[in-house]
Structure 1
């Protein structure tokens, strides 16, 4: 009898594992496909109309500070020009309800003209109750024309499921206490090999460029969280807010988006965007 129970349990466990793998597989593709559809809609209609179709009711845009994007767009007029982009890197929660895409963008006045502006976008997506994906926040930076063309992708990287019970409050504590010492030292405790810094007038800061970037970072930064959310699996989260960089008697105000990824028992920065 016990042997039969074990066999039945193993069968159900295997079935559950297969269903979970299928859910993750579908989730990886759905979010990426939505990004491509979003870009196609904007290309075929307009920035205003395309964004309105894919933004969540509480979605955030920066103009220059954070505003309710849907309200802003509804009160805006259609502007000429082509905004083009595609995802080059993507991460999705193991619960497949929250994820982030990033990649290059460019702007053209007309389809026949050369692009006149370039940059990198960062978009956080959430799966809705009806199964569709809507973006919660969309931000970006501008930089010079890249010398290398980055390839688009078809699948997201699935975040490893975390066994840690740390929750969103831990991120709030990290951000609220960030100003206690130098920005350089504080960043070192929450940055790893995967972290990408996004700053205006600079290509994405990755790999060995991060060490140089942090070495040159002086003064302190204070972050004020204005909003954010964690995935159901509590393995990926985002925050956005207002920051102040202080150095001697000089202060500079900026707005930020942070995407956090759970690494074992600690939250680490996946993306850090300031503009």
Structure 2
């Protein structure tokens, strides 16, 4: 009886510790800690256990197209052959929403490399939950990784924000993306110049991260002839400073080839109340 009591007590403590470890204290550091523990859980227990523990009930993984994370991994084995490290992370000033990205390595018959991208939101108990997860592959990296863990500039969370107000805020992002889509149709690839931030980060299959507006525009202008966006959903942090969208991008290359991608874009609010892109991820889609 005593052994059973002790076992129950230890199990309860471990559950409490795990839940506490995933809690947000309003800092980017807390999100990076959660992301690191997510990777450690996968290495120790396997992907099925890790995603079941860390993903939200409505969390999506792109494998390659978006599917519910918990449902998808319920039918997967406990694979432990992938590891990753956060290299860039941001959290909203409301402390309830953020993302991390960085290099991953997948071992097997042949080792493969790439970049992961994860979006997180805190639930009602302030516990970080994975809501979007995708990645791109590239050759063995040659560039040195510079880690940037960017803390919110201040702290702000509306006390009486309701679902209707959240929907109104999200509609602003949807309108911004619709404007981007229309501008791309009217003016072509140079239209990106009016929407990407100076520190934008591009993840595109076959390439290491493309960092900064100048390099991003040079990449787009050299590769793309046309881009068409079809937005599926948008999400905005309660702090009103960060937001994201995901959907399908149809890319016509200059090499007379068309390809479809699942995309995730992250926007940041600017001083003039416009929204600029700070992260753009293009992951191959199956249509």
TM-score (norm 2): 0.77
C-alpha displacement of 1:45:
1.3
C-alpha displacement of 1:134:
0.6
C-alpha displacement of 1:60:
0.8
Matches within 5 A, 1:12-91: 26-79=26-79, 81-91=80-90
- Work out whether residues 24 and 94 of structure 1, in 8 Å CA contact, stay in contact via their aligned partners in 2: no
Aligned length: 245
Q: 1:145 to 1:246 in 2, by over 3 A?
A: closer
- Aligned partner of 1:158 in structure 2 is 152
- Work out whether residues 257 and 272 of structure 1, in 8 Å CA contact, stay in contact via their aligned partners in 2: yes
Matches within 5 A, 1:127-146: 127-146=122-141
Q: Distance in 2 between matches of 1:187 and 1:65?
A: 25
Q: Distance in 1 between matches of 2:48 and 2:191?
A: 38
- Work out whether residues 117 and 145 of structure 1, in 8 Å CA contact, stay in contact via their aligned partners in 2: yes
Q: 1:205 to 1:50 in 2, by over 3 A?
A: same
Q: Distance in 2 between matches of 1:220 and 1:78?
A: 41
2:261 to 226, 238, 254: 254
- Aligned partner of 2:6 in structure 1 is none
- Work out whether residues 32 and 156 of structure 1, in 8 Å CA contact, stay in contact via their aligned partners in 2: no
Equivalent residue of 1:232, what SS? Answer: coil
Q: Distance in 2 between matches of 1:102 and 1:266?
A: 24
Q: CA-atom RMSD, angstroms?
A: 2.6
Q: Distance in 2 between matches of 1:183 and 1:273?
A: 19
Runs of 5+ in structure 1 lacking a partner? 1-22
TM-score (norm 1): 0.80
Q: Deviations over 1:205-256 (max 9, x none)?
A: 1134223213214322221111231000111011111121246985322110
- Confirm whether residue 215 of structure 1 aligns to residue 215 of structure 2: no
Q: Distance in 2 between matches of 1:145 and 1:169?
A: 40
Equivalent residue of 1:195, what SS? Answer: strand
Q: Distance in 2 between matches of 1:260 and 1:59?
A: 20
- Aligned partner of 2:230 in structure 1 is 224
Q: 1:24 to 1:74 in 2, by over 3 A?
A: closer
- Aligned partner of 1:6 in structure 2 is none
- Aligned partner of 2:205 in structure 1 is 200
- Aligned partner of 2:10 in structure 1 is none
